Structure 1
Amino acid sequence: MSVLFIPIAALALISGCATSSAIRPLPKPEVIASDIRDADAQVEPEPHSEVPMEINEDVQKWIDYFAIKDRVRFESFLLRGEYYRETIEAILTEHQVPRDMYYLAMIESGFMTQATSHASAVGVWQFIRATGRRYGMRQSAYLDERRDVIQATHAAARYLRDLHQEFGSWYLAMAAYNAGEGRIRRAIRIGRSRDFWVLVQKRVLPRETKNYVPKFLAAWIIGRKPAKFGFELPEQIESRYPNVEKATVPGSVHLNEIARVLGLEPNSLAPLNPHLIHGITPPEKTTYDIWVPQGQAAQLLAPEMPLARVTNPAALLPVRYRVRTGDTLEAIAKRHRISLASLKRLNGLDSDRIYRGQSLKVRPSSS
């Protein structure tokens, strides 16, 4: 366990509601330190897998921000996260990654499966396209597995474990998750240190990355004891991510058709499969695995339960696409299953040059 740095301001916040006008006696610092150690003991027991708990000036700044200035939004993150918490923590533990990395997803996306950043990072864990593909998440005009909470959490856990193996520090692993491995290698080389805080002091990290670990620590601290900071969360969470299992179904089948066969309500499978962009299994696949409530996959194997296919899946695709950072004309063409030549012809382009925000026609309006 690393040395704890707990300033008086932090003690004041931890001791009670950050916005309360009532004056309460502060608990003894050693009591708070003991609480933190007890909470850390719930993380993976091997010493090398623990995330060090440190409260310093940088962390305190983000505690203040989340608990006071950004209070309403942060509370929505806490509430939304509880729906996924058990599922995410179980997957992290399966990969021998500290369970409290759950809070990394909180600062990445606020647990929104449809979250998309200015850099075109997508999903709860905010994977960019290249890293998503590297960790096995497929993407097409019909499919973006970065939006699948289960697949993305498995990928994030493997990625974080790989980063920890390379850098030997969970702080540097998180920094690399944010900035990329190359930037952290360069920062270590220039700063001549593998201590995250030393690299911050030497100003060799990007500004966003310098704040990334303190934001994680602040979210972690508040998330451990939300009531101490005045967040009134329900004692019993009414709804949690359900137990699910994979079901193999044909390509080009709508989720509502699958729900009908299973006797489920329309649109009930969409929240379990947010990665199916248009609500159908990818037509380019002979079969595809989707998530269904546990115990129901076997019903789809019965011969008397045929699934009707969507006859013209292309009609569900958008007519236009807005160019994002990192896009290339070739990648856009491949994603929308159109030849590069056809895409250029549709848009009257003489070259492969495109710009962010450009609106491109990706199929004829009459189709």
Structure 2
Amino acid sequence: MPLPFPVPRPWPLLAVVALLSVVPPAMALSKRDEARVEALQTRMAAAEKRYRDAQVLVGNADPKGQAESDAALEDMEDVITACTQQRGCEMGTMLATYKRLLKASTDAQQQDDDDGADDGLLEADPDHVGPLAADVPEAARAAALLNDRRHEFDTMVEYNAAVQAGIRRWLTDLRPQLLTSYENYENLRGVMWPEWQRRGLPEALLFGIMAKESNGRVHASSRAGAAGLMQFMPATGRRFGLGVDETGFDSRFDPRSAAMASAAYLNERMGELNRNIELALAAYNGGEGRAARVYGATGGRSFWDQSVYDQFPAETKDYVPMVIAAAWLFLHPQQYGLELPKVNAVPATLTLSRSTTIYELTICLGSAGTRDGYMRALRNLNPRYEPDGWIPGGTTINATTRIVGLYNRYCVKGPRADLARTLISADLNQAIVRPSPQSFTGSVAVGSATPMAGVATTVATGQPAPAKPKAKQVRSYKVAKGDTLGRIADKHQCELKDLAKANKLRAPAYALKPGQVIQLVGCDK
């Protein structure tokens, strides 16, 4: 629902600068002012060169390139700010340099957007780069600030106290989850956002739902049976083409398929609910049947109307504003002092030079340019592979340009590659020191065997029968919070696949819930 009054937004730096640049400089300058102006011009030229050099590194998949290009842009902005305060500084010259670089990085993307323009698409994210943008997302975002138009999404939802409370929660207790969701989304953006863009839905809404549903974890599962980034229930997923395929993989865990299905589902709901985002979200969480009945019975009133609001469960009353709040922060981070992670996530593919596992890749890639390393990105981009399952050499997996660069540098050969293989191959049993037969130095006298009461003997010899090994006892285990099947298997020394088969748990999620009782089949402890 549109806001009754526009919400004030701070002027972006470049818009202020552009206004200041129309003020004519004084006719005469002192030598000190001339020297300062010349120094600013020198700084701007140096920053421009630094930026261009950084783009060469980015093109070579060097992880230093992104950081250098961002730093160069920050240098330029500092020079422009100083220019506004320096008498005689010609702002037009400074801005021309800045705009020239930004234009070069966004022209190609703009051309793609113009070629595929559709007046029916909702304008989703002018502060964010396009779905398959160049390697300089910060530059593209800065370029967008030159045109400080309102987001279309802002006019489609109601910004009220409930949404403000949701923003407060995301910025306080849930800030780590929000930042994690954003980092995960940036790595998945290349495969998810195009599916929503083609269907005319706002990217901010995609991020908001994903942040609330799964925090961007592809293999997330709920107690109720929902699964994947967008948490589809099995029956709903089947309606939109999701489910277990011929290989046994559940496509609810596939990012592109989940994005496609969720966009189709949202459009279907919005078509029934007068394009009302709040009611469509209420249907997504609280059931489409309930949402349709409430909408029909109340004459299409707003979700926030008490006659509508009170008919939804508490979970849905929380869900709707929290999704909108996450979407709002996605579009307006600077307004709230929110510094979103800078993620170099240009989509790429990686052909493995030798067999490996996601665990091994995580170790040898390191954590350069990330907070938590690359395991989650690899898992999300390649949901069919278990983290400890061997992937044959020659296999092509999904990655980013940064991952490809780090792989070629650290994982093909060298000390870090060798260390990662050593750690992955480590066998706990090798740490146990067991006595060998040669360690006995004494002798043992063996007399004639004498039958003992209660010991079974064979009919043929009358001698004691060989003892049969005791069968392994099948025990049960109650799943605790935080348990995974892999951890349980390690703890009780079980074979993961046997344990999964005995308890009818499907790969790759092996979904468990706290309180569930499983059978410890084939376990040594």
Is this a same-fold pair by TM over 0.5? yes
Deviation string 1:305-341 (CA, Å, 9 cap, x unpaired) is xxxxxxxxxx7635147xxxxxxxxxx86968xxxxx
Letter in 2 for 1:143: F
Of the two structures, which has the highest relative contact order with CA contacts closer than 8 Å and spacing of 6 or more? 1
Residue number among 209, 215, 218 corresponding to 2:316 in the alignment = 209
Checking the alignment, whether the CA contact within 8 Å between 2:188 and 2:380 is kept in structure 1 is no
Checking the alignment, whether the CA contact within 8 Å between 2:272 and 2:292 is kept in structure 1 is no
Secondary structure at 1:223's aligned position in 2? helix
Checking the alignment, whether the CA contact within 8 Å between 2:302 and 2:308 is kept in structure 1 is no
Do the aligned partners of residues 75 and 67 (structure 1) sit closer, same or farther apart at CA in structure 2, a change above 3 Å counting? same
Checking the alignment, whether the CA contact within 8 Å between 1:179 and 1:206 is kept in structure 2 is yes
CA distance in 2, matches of 1:320, 1:159: 32
Deviation string 1:131-168 (CA, Å, 9 cap, x unpaired) is 22222223279422212111111111111111122222
CA distance in 1, matches of 2:258, 2:192: 10
Alignment of 1:291-306 (within 5 A): 292=398
Q: Note the C-alpha offset of 1:52.
A: 0.7
Checking the alignment, whether the CA contact within 8 Å between 1:320 and 1:362 is kept in structure 2 is no
Residue number among 477, 481, 499 corresponding to 1:319 in the alignment = 499
**1:114 and 2:219 are equivalent in the alignment:** yes
Letter in 1 for 2:201: V
Secondary structure at 2:304's aligned position in 1? helix
Do the aligned partners of residues 260 and 145 (structure 1) sit closer, same or farther apart at CA in structure 2, a change above 3 Å counting? farther
CA distance in 1, matches of 2:237, 2:285: 14
Q: Note the C-alpha offset of 1:203.
A: 0.6
**1:187 and 2:316 are equivalent in the alignment:** no
Checking the alignment, whether the CA contact within 8 Å between 1:145 and 1:152 is kept in structure 2 is yes
Secondary structure at 1:319's aligned position in 2? helix
Secondary structure at 2:347's aligned position in 1? coil
Checking the alignment, whether the CA contact within 8 Å between 2:167 and 2:325 is kept in structure 1 is yes
Partner residue of 1:3?
2
Residue number among 58, 69, 79 corresponding to 2:162 in the alignment = 58
Checking the alignment, whether the CA contact within 8 Å between 1:100 and 1:220 is kept in structure 2 is yes
Aligned residues: 270
With normalisation by structure 1, the TM-score equals 0.59
Q: Note the C-alpha offset of 1:92.
A: 0.4
Partner residue of 2:269?
163
**1:176 and 2:283 are equivalent in the alignment:** yes
**1:38 and 2:149 are equivalent in the alignment:** yes
CA distance in 1, matches of 2:148, 2:265: 26
CA distance in 2, matches of 1:121, 1:359: 20
Partner residue of 2:232?
127
CA distance in 2, matches of 1:279, 1:159: 34
CA distance in 2, matches of 1:39, 1:4: 12
Checking the alignment, whether the CA contact within 8 Å between 1:111 and 1:124 is kept in structure 2 is yes
Partner residue of 1:233?
340
Checking the alignment, whether the CA contact within 8 Å between 1:122 and 1:147 is kept in structure 2 is yes
Secondary structure at 2:171's aligned position in 1? helix
CA distance in 1, matches of 2:5, 2:506: 50
Residue number among 170, 186, 191 corresponding to 1:82 in the alignment = 186
Secondary structure at 1:64's aligned position in 2? helix
CA distance in 1, matches of 2:514, 2:177: 29
Do the aligned partners of residues 178 and 363 (structure 1) sit closer, same or farther apart at CA in structure 2, a change above 3 Å counting? same
CA distance in 1, matches of 2:278, 2:239: 22
Residue number among 174, 181, 187 corresponding to 1:70 in the alignment = 174
Secondary structure at 1:111's aligned position in 2? coil
CA distance in 1, matches of 2:192, 2:518: 37
Checking the alignment, whether the CA contact within 8 Å between 1:320 and 1:360 is kept in structure 2 is no
Q: Note the C-alpha offset of 1:119.
A: 1.7
CA distance in 2, matches of 1:216, 1:106: 8
CA distance in 2, matches of 1:221, 1:263: 40
Letter in 2 for 1:83: N
Q: Note the C-alpha offset of 1:96.
A: 2.4
Residue number among 383, 386, 402 corresponding to 1:274 in the alignment = 383
Identify unmatched segments of 5+ residues in structure 1: 17-34, 44-49, 246-257, 282-288, 295-314, 322-331, 337-354
Deviation string 1:113-132 (CA, Å, 9 cap, x unpaired) is 12222322112111112222
Give identity over the alignment, percent: 27
Checking the alignment, whether the CA contact within 8 Å between 1:193 and 1:199 is kept in structure 2 is no
Secondary structure at 1:54's aligned position in 2? coil
Do the aligned partners of residues 183 and 113 (structure 1) sit closer, same or farther apart at CA in structure 2, a change above 3 Å counting? same
Do the aligned partners of residues 263 and 280 (structure 1) sit closer, same or farther apart at CA in structure 2, a change above 3 Å counting? closer
Partner residue of 2:457?
none
Do the aligned partners of residues 272 and 194 (structure 1) sit closer, same or farther apart at CA in structure 2, a change above 3 Å counting? same
CA distance in 1, matches of 2:172, 2:262: 30
CA distance in 2, matches of 1:152, 1:116: 14
Secondary structure at 1:78's aligned position in 2? helix
Q: Note the C-alpha offset of 1:218.
A: 1.2
Identify unmatched segments of 5+ residues in structure 2: 12-144, 363-377, 401-494, 508-512
Checking the alignment, whether the CA contact within 8 Å between 1:270 and 1:279 is kept in structure 2 is no
Do the aligned partners of residues 274 and 57 (structure 1) sit closer, same or farther apart at CA in structure 2, a change above 3 Å counting? same
CA distance in 2, matches of 1:87, 1:222: 22
Q: Note the C-alpha offset of 1:191.
A: 3.6
Compare 197-206 and 158-167 and name the one that shifted more. Answer: 197-206
- Runs of 4+ residues deviating >4 angstroms: 199-202, 260-271, 276-281, 289-294, 332-336, 360-366
**1:359 and 2:517 are equivalent in the alignment:** yes
Q: Which has the larger radius of gyration?
A: 2
Do the aligned partners of residues 4 and 110 (structure 1) sit closer, same or farther apart at CA in structure 2, a change above 3 Å counting? same
Secondary structure at 2:149's aligned position in 1? helix
CA distance in 2, matches of 1:218, 1:58: 9
Partner residue of 2:21?
none
